[in-house]
Amino acid sequence: MLSEYAVIIVTGGSSGIGKAFIEHAWRLNPEVVICNLSRREPVEFLGKLNARQVTVDLADEAALARAAYEVLAHVRMTGPKGKVMLINNSGFGGYGRVDELGRKHQLEMVDVNVRAVVDLTSRILPALRERGGAVINIASTAAFQPTAHMATYGATKAFLLHWSLALREELRGSGVHALAVCPGPTSTEFFKRAGLRQGAVTERWGQTADQVVLESLRALARERTQTVCGWGNWALASFASRLPKPLAARVGAALLMKFRASRVGAGEDTAGGGGDGVKGGGAGGTSPVEVGKG
């Protein structure tokens, strides 16, 4: 299926899920040109003639506009044939109350998790319509219920999920497919940067970035509109989404507070950040309705 693609554009490909997408893409299609938008160049890019690093802070609107222009130039250089894939992967979060995390931190979160996705997709969409392709948006299981103690993060992922589903309907029949991917806790740098101890993602609840990517590619091949990675995450997300929203918020707040108390490292700041987009690399899903998850 990836053999049809001439260009794959990834945000936050230096680590986590974004890095795993790059590795799988080249394994399945060694000729595909990959454009990575992040603050760091992935190690996988070294020595690769078909690698295009676009260094950018996704929270900077002007810098993102310049980066999108550069990416479109790379797309044109590949010729008129071959599909284009955009993977909106960069995102970051933070554990704590709204007044703990601070205004600037949360506004940057909105910029990276929401505004940058809409901005970049809008700029790349004409090329996608012209050549065909796909938009993969990495949301989260946090999108299915209110997430007290991660209020802004969960709300950004709820926006991304619903925006992606609506985009899919708008693109129906255009030759461009949109897929919302909702991982649960994933073994990426997300949790460390959110102030949690090593081992916060256990084998019982968590997935690897490779597992998330494989499920995403299978869902894309089947032209799915949405996929929740892992059957346990699917069951818990389904349960959470059926609860009345006030009840889901109350239950989730209690569970996440309990989890946070057991997982936050001593003396560590609970505000998440650091990585590819502006304060975060690959997106790691979280859902307080899921016991033992972060």
- Which residues are part of the catalytic machinery? 153
- Percentages of the chain per state (helix, strand, coil), in multiples of 5: 50, 15, 35
Q: What is the dihedral of CA 133, 4, 37, 157, to 10 degrees?
A: 50
The span from the first CA to the last CA of the chain, in angstroms, equals 33
Angle at 177 between CA 238 and CA 117, to 5 degrees: 75
Instruction: Give per-residue burial for 92-114: e unless 16+ CB within 10 Å, then b.
Output: bbbbbeeeebeeebbebbbbbbb
Which segments of 93-145 does DSSP mark as H helices, in order?
98-101, 103-110, 116-131
Sequence-ordered list of residues with C-beta below 8 angstroms from that of 103, at least 6 positions apart, any chain: none
Quote the CA–CA distance of 206 and 233 in Å, as a whole number: 9
Nearest to 141 by CA among 256, 220, 60: 256
Contact 95, 272 (CB under 8 A): yes
Q: How many residues does the chain have?
A: 294
- Provide the token pair at 127: 């090329």
Task: For residue 5, give the DSSP letter.
Answer: E
